[in-house]
A = this chain, B = another copy of it.
Amino acid sequence: MATGRGARAIARQQITAEILTEAKAQLARDGASGLSLRSIARTLEMSSSAIYRYFASRDELLTALILDAYNDLGATVEAAEAAVERSDLRGRWLAATRATRAWARAEPHAYALIYGTPVPNYVAPQSTISAASRVPIVLVGILIAAAREHPMDPSSGPTGVLDPGVLDTIDQLAQVPEAKIIHGIRAWNELFGIISFELFGHLVGSVADTEAYFEQFCHETADRLLT
């Protein structure tokens, strides 16, 4: 099984990619709720049942789209942050947070897919959780760099709040005091809280200039986290 290089396998891979491309187009156009396997089959000019040779269910297709969205966002944020001079911690933080918001505004349906209401029976497979970690890893990397510049006592702060696993996977994190990490996660939460409210319309009527509002957020969090 899976000889890996037959002409058959290549064709399969290509059709799978075509389905995924069309699915992404439909997602961007109509959102996750408007995505239908039948209509994908129609535009690809194949029978509706043929789709199931490539994706066992609609949920499986959705999972692929979720993975794709996480990686798209992750790559975007990584690139934006990497483009900034390493010593400019503040600039790196601003770049990462701004890139997150910009991506969300450019791909609102993809954003909603991963940070909005979860799809009913969905359980994240292992492959998605590493993709989902890319943005927080970027942010935490800036925190670590900041802690290296301003060394502090790592043992301070409350304990038991953080998952022990997170300190294992990112070992340099041990250098950062737990209270600082928690504040980093708080900023991460607030980032997506603000973006979600902006995208989902919960700011209309209170915040008029969402741009300035967001700028204030990312500058203040930079002040609080990187000193």
Contacts and interface: CB of A to CB of B under 8 A. Distances in A.
Interface of A: 30-34, 112-113, 115-120, 124, 129, 132-133, 136, 158, 160-166, 182, 185-186, 189-194, 196-197, 200-209, 212-213, 216-217
Nearest to A124: B201
Most chain-B Cβ atoms within 10 A of its Cβ — which of A117, A160, A190, A196?
A117
A162 to B, nearest CB: 6
Contacts of A160: 208-209, 212
Contacts of A217: 186
A129 B206 CA distance: 12
A200 B129 CA distance: 13
A213 B162 CA distance: 8
A158 B215 CA distance: 12
Shortest 3 CB-CB distances between A and B: which pairs? A193-B193, A116-B117, A163-B208
B196 A186 contact: no
Given A158-B216, A212-B158, A163 B117 contact: no
Contact of A161 (B113, B124, B213): B213
Given A112-B117, A117-B200, A185-B203, 15 more contacts: A31-B117, A117-B117, A118-B200, A132-B202, A161-B209, A161-B212, A162-B206, A163-B204, A163-B207, A165-B205, A182-B213, A186-B194, A186-B217, A191-B193, A193-B196
Contacts of A185: 203, 206-207, 213
A193 B188 CA distance: 9
Contacts of A129: 205
A207 B117 contact: no
Contacts of A193: 189-194, 196
